[in-house]
Amino acid sequence: MKEKIADLEEKARRLRVAIVKTLHKSQSGHTGGSLSAIDMVCALYFHKMRHNPQDPSWEGRDRFVLSKGHAAPALYVTLAECGYFPSEDLMMLRRLGSHLQGHPDSKGTPGVDVCTGSLGQGLSMANGMALGFKLDGKDNRVYAVLGDGELQEGQIWEAAMAAGHYKSDNLCALIDSNGLQIDGDVSKVMNVASIGDKFKAFGWNVIEIDGHDMGQIISALDQAEAHKGAPTAIVAKTVKGKGVHLFENKASYHGVTPNDEELPEALRCLGCCD
Amino acid sequence: MIATRDAYGEALAELGGENDKIVALDADLSGSTKTGVFAKKFPNRFFNMGIAEANMVGTAAGLASVGKIPFLSTFAIFAAGRGWEQIRQSLAYPKANVKVVATHGGVTVGEDGGSHQSVEDIAIMRAIPNMTVIVPADGEETKGAIRAVAAYKGPVYVRLGRNKVANVFPAGHKFEIGKGNVVVEGKDLTFITTGLMTAQAVIAAEKLKEEGISARVLHLGTIKPLDKELVLKAAQETGAIVTAEEHSVVGGLGGAVAEFLGEECPTLMKRVGIYDRFGLSGKSDELLKYFGLNAETLIEQAREIVSRKK
Ligand SMILES: Cc1ncc(C[n+]2csc(CCOP(=O)(O)OP(=O)(O)O)c2C)c(N)n1
Ligand SMILES: [Mg+2]
């Protein structure tokens, strides 16, 4: 177990390096929210989800919905690391003609199942998938990653109500609770606290964790899978920009990419010498 | 050369000082939409509603019904898109005095890609009864338009852009809702344009002059209500119309002109715009070129339509 956690931590470190390099190259995209979500995305793809990079449309695969679609770089570097497409593609992020669109696009990118980017819509689609799997008697699971600012969208709570109502225990929502959105602190812009209590009120199983502690992430994911009769919400306390002190806890790095001066320091923080 | 959204920020903050009934709402994009300028000056009259556009529209309707003049802003895709039915039911149906000022319209949103590029907002706003739809060409026209819509009583949709655009109008330009502007005189064809395409039409008209083609440029800063008088005059006097907009050819400016002329004065017509597809990631200028939203396309279309006239 210890080894497994250390492995995942090393993977996550490498994925952070890839995020920073990708965003430095594109000079457009979302740094903070990609770095806050990456530990959870890493644990999902390299520990929890059943999926097959050689066969992206394999019927038995679990589904991943990046409801906070602006964290696309976190998903793209992970898919590349899994082998869904060559990592050279990352250098084409957001370029004209690239399959790596600014926000996830299922029409072009292998391994991407849903189009997201307009916040608030992902949890509904994830619950729809979960209901469909149940209808077919299948045991595929569905995972959705949400932003804490994103929780301000009313549709999130319509989806929470529906998933609780239909007891979608094959659905797990992971909330990247980094406390920031574009205009500043979530608590100041439009307070969404207490997130766990809100999901509980809609009949969800709620687990609160440190979203950068790999041991806590995988144990929460295992508990979510074991929990029957209700969907699970993993409320993960995270740090926006995690891993690079230049970007940590700064709303200003929401949609700003590492520049030439910041790149060496960012890579150094991530234990990268090349 | 400034972005229309920057002109909006300036104009709204200025109006805020003149009329304390003006309030502003935003949905976590106040830095980008420039309502932040107003927010800084009048923090008590600014409401950040969080990432909750539908609720923002309804809240604005409530504020209007107790006598406030709300300006609400977010990106065009989230204002017209997410808020569509709330705009229809809570603003347009009761004729609520709310101004929806949407920024980042069209493909010049750029790298964010198709999910963020509204190519259909003019069409879906225009389809709603009681709505007024305004798409300024530049910063000066934007300032005039914001002033005009503040004075007008009723729901309005104003579509602004992300990037700096060339000036078409002089400083202090007076904006009249529903009135177009003949920016360049001409007799062989008329470019009927809106938003950033008007500046392109002016360039195209200059180049065409060298080839002996005289192109009129009719800018429609208001798409609804349509300036029927100037459109009809253009059709009758030049006999050929090329419309251009940073928007789908379905239901926008081209659609509005075609609907009107189809009934009143069938005229040779071409529509320059996005041909029924979504946008995609890329740099703004690359995308404008990719979709043919530039003077070159207008010149080609003008040559073709003039040759068809003969
Ligand atoms: C419906 C909608 N409204 C607005 C936006 C613009 N937007 C993109 S990211 C963002 C802030 C998201 O904050 P949060 O969910 O907390 O994400 P994170 O902090 O993880 O980046 C906003 C407002 C959007 N993408 N979709
Ligand atoms: Mg956040």
User: Which CATH number characterizes residue A81's domain?
Assistant: 3.40.50.970
Spatial CA neighbour of B107 closest among B162, B25, B28? B162
| Alpha-carbon gap, residue A133 to A91, rounded angstroms | 36
Q: Is the CB of A33 under 6 A from ligand 1?
A: yes
Ligand 1 atom nearest A238 alpha carbon: 20
| Residue whose C-alpha is closest to residue B244's, from B220, B228, B267 | B220
pLDDT band of residue B310 (cuts 50, 70, 90) is: confident
Decide: residue B307, CB within 10 A, 0-12 exposed, 13-18 middle, 19+ buried.
exposed
Cα distance from B260 to chain A (closest Cα, Å)? Answer: 34
Domain B2-165 has CATH 3.40.50.970: yes
Per CB-CB distance under 8 Å, the chain B contacts of A119 are 51
Distance A119 CA to ligand 1 centre (A): 6
pLDDT tens digit string along B164-212?
Answer: 999 999 999 999 999 999 999 999 999 999 999 999 999 999 999 999 9
CB contact burial A223-249 (16+ within 10 A = b; e otherwise): ebbeeeebbbbbbbbbbbbbbbeebbb
Q: What share of chain B in percent tops pLDDT 70?
A: 100
Query: Contact, B167 vs B198, CB < 8 A?
Result: no
Q: How far is A136 from chain B (nearest CA, A)?
A: 31
Identity at A272, one-letter amino acid code? C
Q: What's the CA gap between A42 and A22, in Å, rounded?
A: 17
Searching chain B, which residue's CA lies closest to the CA of residue A181?
B28
Smallest Cβ–Cβ distance between A103 and the set B26, B28, B115 belongs to B115
Using alpha carbons, select from B159, B181, B149 the residue that is nearest to residue B168. Answer: B181
Closest atom of ligand 1 to CA, residue A148: 16
pLDDT at A273 over 70: no
A166 inside domain: yes
Which residues of chain B lie closer than 8 angstroms to A153, CB-CB? 51-52
Q: Find the domain containing A200 and state its range.
A: 2-269
- DSSP secondary structure string, A50-85? ---TTSTT-TT--EEEESSGGGHHHHHHHHHHHTSS
Cross-strand pairs, B157: B100, B133
Dump pLDDT digits (tens) for A3-31: 999 999 999 999 999 999 999 999 999 99
Q: What 8-state DSSP symbol labels residue B221? A: S
Q: Read off the pLDDT of residues B116-157 as tens digits, 9 standing for 90 and up.
A: 999 999 999 999 999 999 999 999 999 999 999 999 999 999
Read off the pLDDT of each residue in B83-106 and give the average, rounded to a whole number. Answer: 98
Q: Which residue has the tokens 């030049």?
A: B238
One of 3.40.50.920, 3.30.450.30, 3.80.30.20, 2.60.120.280 is the CATH number of B181-309, namely: 3.40.50.920
Cα A91 versus chain centre, distance: 20
Nearest to B107 by CA among B294, B303, B280, B292: B280
Q: Please tell me the distance between residue A38's alpha carbon and the centre of ligand 2 in angstroms.
A: 13
What number does the ligand 1 atom closest to the CA of A70 have? 9
Q: What is the mean pLDDT of residues B93-105?
A: 98
* Gap between the Cα atoms of A253 and A98, Å rounded: 24
- Spans of all domains in chain B: 2-165, 181-309
How many other β-carbons are positioned within 10 Å of the β-carbon of residue B41? 14
CA distance B218 to B206: 14
Kind plus residue range of the DSSP H or E element containing A127: helix A122-135
**Looking at residue A28, what is its pLDDT?**
98
Query: DSSP string covering A244-260, please?
Result: -TTTTT-GGGSS----T
- Contact flag A101-B281 (C-beta cutoff 8 Å): yes
Mutation pick for ligand 1 pocket among A150, A178, A187, A195 (CB with most ligand atoms within 8 Å) = A150
* Calpha distance A228→B11 (Å, rounded): 56
Q: For B108, which DSSP code?
A: G
A118 CB near ligand 1 (under 6 Å): yes
What mean pLDDT do residues A87-98 have? 98
Render pLDDT for B240-250 as a digit per residue (tens, 0 to 9).
999 999 999 99
Average pLDDT over every residue of B273-289? 98
Q: What tokens were used for A205?
A: 């199983």
Strand pairing of B215-219 and B181-184?
A: antiparallel
**Is this prediction's ipTM beyond 0.90?**
yes
- What distance in Å separates the CA atoms of residue B58 and residue B45, rounded to the nearest whole number? 17
For the CA atoms of chain B, what is the radius of gyration?
A: 19
User: Is the pLDDT assigned to residue A274 strictly greater than 60?
Assistant: no
pTM for the model:
0.97
Task: Provide the annotated active-site residues of B.
Answer: 53
Q: What average pLDDT does chain B have?
A: 98
CB B181 within 8 A of CB B231: no
Range with the poorest average pLDDT among A113-117, A178-182, B300-304, B306-310:
B306-310
Extended beta strands in chain B, E state: 2-3, 22-26, 46-48, 69-75, 99-103, 132-134, 156-159, 164-165, 181-184, 189-193, 215-219, 222-224, 240-248, 268-274
The amino acid present at A60, given as its one-letter code, is: G
Query: Which residues on B lie below 8 Å from A182 (Cβ)?
Result: 28-29, 31-32
Tell me which residues of chain B have a C-beta less than 8 Å from any C-beta of chain A. 26, 28-32, 48-52, 54-55, 77-78, 81-82, 110-116, 280-283, 286-287, 290
Give residue A144's pLDDT. Answer: 99
Count of domains observed in chain A: 1
Query: Does residue A179 have its Cβ closer than 6 Å to ligand 1?
Result: no
- Confidence check: pLDDT of B251 > 60: yes
**Is A114 among the domain residues?**
yes
